[in-house]
Amino acid sequence: MSRISIREAINKTLHEEMARDQSIILIGEDVASKHSGGVYGVTLGLSDKFGTERVIDTPITESAIIGAAGGAALTGLRPVAELMFIDFLGVCLDQLMNQIAKFRYMFGGNVTTPVTIRTMIGAGAGTGPQHSQILYPLLVSIPGIKVVAPSNAYDAKGLLAQAIRDDDPVVFCEHKAIYDEIAEVPDEEFVIPFGEARKVCEGKDITIVAFSRMVLFAEQAAKKLSSEGISVEVIDPRTLSPLDDKSIIESVEKTGKLLIVDEANPYCSMASEVSSVVAEKAFHALKAPIRKITSPHTPVPASPTLETFYVPSLSQIEEIVRELSNY
C-alpha cells in the first residue's frame, strides 16, 4: 500500500497498462510534454518511458484526436485519448456520439472500439464558463459509451485500468479540483468492475448519492452530522453509465430518505436520473420527498466569489440532511 494522490494514481496506472500492453497508445494535446505532462502533470514521464511513437502530442485538433483514436481502436490499437477539458466536447462530439459510440451497433456487432477518453471536468479552479463544466450527463444519455467519474485515488486506479482493458468506449472524467486528494492504494495492479457502487460510509437514517468531487463533500457532511446523531449513508456510484441502481435502491430501502448531490446542471442530470430510478423502483420505501442539490441552471462563472455560490457546498448538504432528518 502507498499513500498517493489521484494524479499519481492515474499516472501510475497509465505506466502499468502501457508496460503490460503494447497496443496502448496515448494521444492528445501536450500529453508527451516532458516538462509539464499536460496541464496538471498527469502524463508526466510517460513519453520518456515509452517514447513519442506511443505517447503522441497532437496539434490542437479535438475532432482529429477523438476520430483518430476511434479509427485506431477499430483497427487493432487500444488508444487512450485525452480531451483536455470536457468543455471541448463541443468541437468533437460527432466523432464520439455518431462514430465511436455507434460503430459496434451499426456494424452489426462485428467490431469493438476499445478506446478510453480521459477528460477533466468540474468547477473550483476559477477556470470560467468554458473550462469548468461537468457535462457528463450529455454522454450518459448516449448508448454505446460508458462513463466513469472516480472520487478518490483507489477508485481512479482500479477504474482506469478497467477502462483501458474494457472493449467498449469509456469516457473517464477526472475532476480537476481533487487531483491532490490522497488515499491508500495497493501497489499491485487491480481493476474495479463497472456498474458497482462503493459504500463510502454506512448509515441508517439518510442516503446520500454523490458523484465525483461531491462524494468528498458528502463524506465530510456525514462525519459532521454523526456528531448531531444523524446517521448518513454515502453511496458513490463511481460509474455513471452503467449505473448501479441496485445498490442505491438497497440503501434507500434501508434509510427511506434520499439526497442526491451532483455538480452537473440540474436538468437531465445524474441527480434527476437517480431521482427517477428511486421514484420508480423504491417509491414505497420513501419516507420523505427525494431531495437534490446540483449547481444552478447557469453557466459556471469565472468570479471565484460566484463560483463558490455555483458549486454545491458542504453547508447546503448539511442543511438539507437536517431537513430530511426532521421530516
Partner 1 sequence: MFENSQLYKAYRDMKLIREFEERIRAEYQQGKLPGFIHMYRAQEAIAVAVCMNLTDQDYIASTHRGHGHCIAKGCTVEDMLLELCCKDEGICRGKGGSMHIADMSKGMLGANAIVGAGPPIAAGAALTAKTLKNGCVSVAFIGDGASDQGTVAEALNLAVVLNLPMIFMYENNYYAEFTKNPKPDGRIAERAGAFGMPSVCIDGSDFFAVYDAAKNAVERGRAGGGPTAIEAIVPRYYGHFEGDAQQYRERDEVKSSRSMSDPIKKFLQDPRSEGLSKNEIEKLDNEISELIENGLEKAYSASEPSYEQLFTDVYVNYKGH
Output the smallest distance, CB 98 to partner 1, in A: 5
Only segment of 11-19, 33-41, 59-67, 264-272 that touches partner 1 (CB under 8 A): 59-67
**Footprint of partner 1 on 279-318 (CB under 8 A):** none
CA angle 24, 67, 46 (to 5 degrees): 30
What cell numbers appear for 185 in the block? 492504494
Please select the residue that binds partner 1; options are 7, 54, 118, 292, rule is CB under 8 A: 54
How far apart CA 181 and CA 310 sit, in angstroms, is: 22
Binding residue count for partner 1, defined by CB under 8 A: 55
53 binds partner 1, rule: CB under 8 A: yes
Nearer of residues 241 and 269 to partner 1, judged by Cβ:
241
7 binds partner 1, rule: CB under 8 A: no
244 binds partner 1, rule: CB under 8 A: yes
Please select the residue that binds partner 1; options are 4, 6, 46, 69, rule is CB under 8 A: 69
Output the smallest distance, CB 305 to partner 1, in A: 37
167 binds partner 1, rule: CB under 8 A: yes
Three-state SS letters, the chain: CEEEEHHHHHHHHHHHHHHHCCCEEEEECCCCCCCCCCCCCCCCCHHHHHCCCCEEECCCCHHHHHHHHHHHHHCCCEEEEEEEEHHHHHHCHHHHHHHHCCHHHHCCCCCCCCCEEEEEECCCCCCCCCCCCCCHHHHHCCCCCEEECCCCHHHHHHHHHHHHHCCCCEEEEEEHHHCCCEEEECCCCCCCCCCCCEEEECCCCEEEEECCHHHHHHHHHHHHHHCCCCCEEEEECCEEECCCHHHHHHHHHHHCCEEEEECCCCCCCHHHHHHHHHHHHCHHHCCCCCEEEECCCCCCCCCHHHHHHHCCCHHHHHHHHHHHHHC
163 binds partner 1, rule: CB under 8 A: no
Please select the residue that binds partner 1; options are 7, 118, 146, 213, rule is CB under 8 A: 146
Reply yes or no on whether 175 is catalytic.
Answer: no
Please select the residue that binds partner 1; options are 28, 38, 79, 203, rule is CB under 8 A: 79
Decide if 325 contacts 205 (C-beta within 8 A): yes
277 binds partner 1, rule: CB under 8 A: yes
Output the smallest distance, CB 41 to partner 1, in A: 24
157 binds partner 1, rule: CB under 8 A: no
**Footprint of partner 1 on 105-124 (CB under 8 A):** 105-112
243 binds partner 1, rule: CB under 8 A: yes
Please state whether beta strands 198-201 and 232-236 pair in parallel, antiparallel, or not at all (unpaired). Answer: antiparallel
Output the smallest distance, CB 78 to partner 1, in A: 10
Please identify which of the residues 15, 35, 131, 297 carries the catalytic annotation.
131
Only segment of 30-38, 69-77, 200-208, 257-265 that touches partner 1 (CB under 8 A): 69-77
- List, by residue number, the catalytic residues: 131
Interface residues toward partner 1, by CB under 8 A: 25, 27, 53-54, 56, 58-59, 61, 63-77, 79, 94-95, 98-99, 103-112, 143-144, 146, 166-168, 193-196, 239, 241-245, 277
